[in-house]
Amino acid sequence: MLSEVLSPMLMPWVNGGLAVLAAVSLTPLVQWGARKGGWVAIPEAGKWHDTPTTLLGGVAIVLAGAAVLALGGQAAFPILVWAGAGLLFGAGLVDDLWGLGPVAKLIAQFGSAALALSAGLLFAPSAPVWVSVPLTLIWLLGLPNALNLLDAMDGVAASVTVLAAAFLGGVAGLQGAWALATAAAVLAGATAGFLVFNVPPARIFMGDCGSLVLGYMLAVLGMGVQSSVGTATSVLVPVLILAVPIFDTTFVSITRIRRGESVTNGGTDHTMHRLARLQWSERQVPLLLCGGGILAGGIGLVGQVGPPLLFYTLVLGGVATAVGIGRLLAHRTPPEPIETPRPAPTHTTSVQPVPESKRPAPRRPTTPSR
């Protein structure tokens, strides 16, 4: 095992690098197998892409991460936590291949949350149980869905995951929790290797088997770094590191409620769609979101190593900035485009892109048309 021959401080770096190499090697194989099996997303109304694109990229991410963690020989979490990830992977894979009803998917998500709770993971562990348990359920159910919704434009969900996992790994390293830092590095590395093939224009999509697992793992990593700091800071550090998916879900929920619409309905009114309507290209949108993630994650690191007064001052400034950006997006861009199509693709294709006005869903459906 690598953990027996390497020092703990080197383990995250080595395993993260191995995860990158594993994902870079596995993703083309998964892409080839998915295309051979006919698991290809065909451009149509409700899908953001404009060329046939293979599915199941999440398989490469999960296999790469699992292989490297098994080689590393360090147990960052109890087996029940990994079982929760496996349950979401299975549910997401079924949904990607054949379609899974919303009730069945919600049951799988509750099951994964129950497994993590049974393993002893709690959000805000210093708070009373009647506070921490509901917060844990919201955290474990909300983040997988938030990341799933971010998987609506090439490279967005993957790049946000890489950045958040890197910050969480950094916090774990500062705490001396090297097994946790290694798990975060492997998550970042495996997703970065997949991202090579997912940047615009994407050659493969991660699908629900990827986004649900990534969101779940970010959630449990966020709970894992909470134990060594005070209650208020403990809650805020992972929230800040995961500010981008949290902001997007909160923004969409508030704006839809104010319009009298269902929060669960589809729509191209997410942060990334509105940025695209403000004439940012599909290559620039992930960079903008990552820029916000870097700023928020930096504040989170201040909470770990800096003076409390500076940390809470930066938190208040970050909240005010997020509110201002939300108001700007809400007032400068309509929830759905009226006449203007989405920005032209960055590559040439014989398939005519579908105007955004005909795209009702906020994320690309992952059930293939065969």
pTM for this one?
A: 0.88
Strands 40-41 and 53-54: antiparallel
Cβ-contact 80, 119 below 8 angstroms = yes
How many other C-beta atoms can be found within 10 angstroms of the C-beta atom of residue 203? 16
Among 89, 73, 79, which Cα is nearest to 120's? 79
Q: In a structure prediction context, what are the per-residue pLDDT tens digits for the chain, which is 370 residues long?
A: 565 556 678 889 999 999 999 999 999 999 999 999 988 877 665 455 567 889 999 999 999 999 999 887 668 899 999 999 999 999 999 999 998 988 999 999 999 999 999 999 999 988 889 999 999 999 999 999 999 999 988 999 999 999 999 999 999 999 999 999 999 999 999 999 999 999 989 999 999 999 999 999 999 999 999 965 557 888 999 999 999 999 999 999 999 898 888 887 767 788 998 998 898 998 999 999 999 999 999 999 999 888 999 999 999 999 999 999 999 999 988 877 654 444 444 343 333 333 433 333 334 433 333 3
- Domain ranges for the chain: 2-358
